[in-house]
Amino acid sequence: MVGAGVGSAPQALTNRHTSKTQIKMRFIGIKYIWKKLSNAEFLCYTLAMTYQGVLHKYGILLDLPSHTRTVSLLEGNTPLIKAGNLSRQLGDFELFIKYEGLNPTGSFKDRGMTAAVSEALGRGAMTVICASTGNTAASAAAYAARAGMKSIVLIPQGKVAAGKLAGAIAYGAQVIQIDGSFDDALTMVIEITNKHPICLVNSINPYRIEGQKTSAFEICDVLGSAPDWLCLPVGNAGNITSYWVGFKQYNEIKSTGLPQILGVQAAGAAPLVLGHPIEKPETVATAIRIGKPARGEQALQAAEESNGRIIAVSDEQILDMQKMLATLEGIWVEPASAAGLAGLAHEIANGNLNPKGKRVVAICTGHGLKDPDIITKNMDKPLVVPPRLDALEKIILG
C-alpha cells in the first residue's frame, strides 16, 4: 500500500466510533500488559485499528477496479461539529457542520482524489490532468506527488485563490492558466485525454464520485442515521451527486434514511437554477464560478428525488455567512463553502423551510486559509503601538 501512515484528521467529539475504538484499545492494552498477547499480535491489532483513509475504511462499499493501488493521505474522518450558536440565530433546530476543510489539502476533493489517483496508479498511468477552480488542482497535485506521478492542472487565469494556486505549485504540478473560464479548461482537458494517454481526474471520472460518497457514510455513522436536511454548495455538481448516491447506498444496506438536499449556487453562476448554461459566470466564491456543470443533470435529479431543491444566493449573503460562521462558531471556511449555509438561512428567512425540530448537516467544503485575500483586502489595518505598556493600556482600556 502506498501512503499508509499513522495519525488522522481531527475527530468530532460526537464521533461514537472514536470512543468505541478507544475502549477497545484500552482493553487490548490491558490484555497486553497481562502478557496474553504477543508483541506481534499487539502490533497487528494496533495497525488494524489505526485510521488509514477512506479507501481502507469504506473500500468494500466503493465500486473500484481490482487493480486499484491505494494512495492515501489519510483523508476523510472529518469532524461533524455541532453549531449551536449559529442555529440559535437561524431558528430552533440541530445544526452540524461537516468540516471538509480539514482534509489533508484543505478541501473535500481529497476523498475523490484518493480513489481516482489510486485507480490511475494501479492501471499504470504516469500522468493525471484536471481543470480546476483551485481545490481539485491542489488535491490532484498532492496525490499525484505521493504516487510518483506527474500532474498537470488547467486553471482560469486570475480567478484562483492564492492558497489553492500555492498548493498546486508546492506539490509540484505543472500549472497552466487558461485565458478563459473553468468550463473552457474542462473542455480542453476532456479533448486532450481523448487523444493522449493522460488520466482525467475531474469529477467526470467515476472513481471521484465513489470516493466522495464516503462523507455521506461518515455522517450516518456518527449520527446513526441521515439528517433531515443536507445543504451544500454546487459548482460542477460532482459533490451533490456523490452525497445522494452515498446516502441511497447506505440506506439500502443499513436503513439509515435519506435527507432532503438543498444545493446552493452563487447568483452570478447559477445555471441549474436558471435552467441554462452561463457563458460568463461571476462570483466572489471562485470555487463555484462555473457556468456549465458537468454533472448538472444528476444534481437536478438528486434535488428532485430527495424532495429538496437547488437555489441561488447573492455574493453578499455568502460573505455574510462566512463571517457569521467564523465569529459565532470559530469555523473559518472559504466563501464557496459558506454557500450551503447561506442558502439554508435564506430559505428559513423566506419561510420556505421550517427547520423546527429538524437535524440539519451543512457541508463546509474548503478551509478559509485557501482564500485569505477575501478577508485581508477589505480589512482595517491593525493598529500599531509603540512597545510600551501605557500605550497598550490606552488602546485596550480606552
Decide: is 322 part of the binding site for ligand F0G (CB under 6 A): no
Q: Residue 259 or 366: which CB sits closer to ligand F0G?
A: 366
Q: Give the H or E element holding residue 262.
A: strand 260-266
Q: Residue 283 or 365: which CB sits closer to ligand F0G?
A: 365
Residue with cell 489539502: 105
Decide: is 238 part of the binding site for ligand F0G (CB under 6 A): yes
Q: Tell me which residues in 364-393 interact with ligand F0G (CB under 6 A).
A: 365-366
Q: Residue 68 or 286: which CB sits closer to ligand F0G?
A: 286
Instruction: Point out which residues pair with 266 in neighbouring strands.
Output: 269, 313
Q: Residue 221 CB: number of other CB atoms within 10 A?
A: 18
Decide: is 291 part of the binding site for ligand F0G (CB under 6 A): no
Q: Tell me which residues in 51-90 interact with ligand F0G (CB under 6 A).
A: none
Choosing from 287, 313, 319, 325, the residue that interacts with ligand F0G (CB under 6 A) is: 287
Minimum Å gap between C-beta 77 and ligand F0G is 19
- Beta carbons of 166 and 106 less than 8 angstroms apart: no
Decide: is 107 part of the binding site for ligand F0G (CB under 6 A): yes
Residue 372: partners with Cβ closer than 8 Å, 6 or more residues away: 162, 163
Q: Residue 71 or 287: which CB sits closer to ligand F0G?
A: 287
Minimum Å gap between C-beta 65 and ligand F0G is 23
Of the candidates 119, 93, 82, 170, which has an alpha carbon nearest to the alpha carbon of residue 353? 93
- Beta carbons of 235 and 268 less than 8 angstroms apart: no
Q: Residue 72 or 107: which CB sits closer to ligand F0G?
A: 107
- Beta carbons of 294 and 202 less than 8 angstroms apart: yes
- Alpha-carbon gap, residue 297 to 211, rounded angstroms: 20
Decide: is 134 part of the binding site for ligand F0G (CB under 6 A): yes
Q: Residue 45 or 83: which CB sits closer to ligand F0G?
A: 83
Options 62-70, 236-244, 275-283, 348-356: segment touching ligand F0G (CB under 6 A): 236-244
Query: Total number of residues binding ligand F0G (CB under 6 A)?
Result: 23
Residue 376: partners with Cβ closer than 8 Å, 6 or more residues away: none
The residue type of 339 is: A
- Alpha-carbon gap, residue 92 to 106, rounded angstroms: 31
Decide: is 181 part of the binding site for ligand F0G (CB under 6 A): no
Decide: is 334 part of the binding site for ligand F0G (CB under 6 A): yes
Decide: is 283 part of the binding site for ligand F0G (CB under 6 A): no
Options 52-60, 129-137, 244-252, 313-321: segment touching ligand F0G (CB under 6 A): 129-137
Decide: is 298 part of the binding site for ligand F0G (CB under 6 A): no
- Alpha-carbon gap, residue 301 to 146, rounded angstroms: 36
The residue type of 341 is: L
Minimum Å gap between C-beta 361 and ligand F0G is 15
Choosing from 87, 151, 215, 239, the residue that interacts with ligand F0G (CB under 6 A) is: 239
Minimum Å gap between C-beta 299 and ligand F0G is 7
Instruction: Point out which residues pair with 95 in neighbouring strands.
Output: 360
Minimum Å gap between C-beta 248 and ligand F0G is 17
For 316-353, letters b (16+ CB in 10 Å) and e give ebbbebbebbeeebebbbbbbbbbbbbbbbbbbeeeeb
Choosing from 52, 77, 103, 203, the residue that interacts with ligand F0G (CB under 6 A) is: 203
Decide: is 236 part of the binding site for ligand F0G (CB under 6 A): yes
- Alpha-carbon gap, residue 161 to 177, rounded angstroms: 13
Q: Residue 147 or 294: which CB sits closer to ligand F0G?
A: 294
- Alpha-carbon gap, residue 58 to 55, rounded angstroms: 5
Query: In terms of residues, how long is the chain?
Result: 398
Decide: is 211 part of the binding site for ligand F0G (CB under 6 A): no
- Alpha-carbon gap, residue 225 to 216, rounded angstroms: 10
Contact residues toward ligand F0G (CB under 6 A) are: 107, 109, 132-136, 203, 233-240, 287-288, 334, 336-337, 365-366
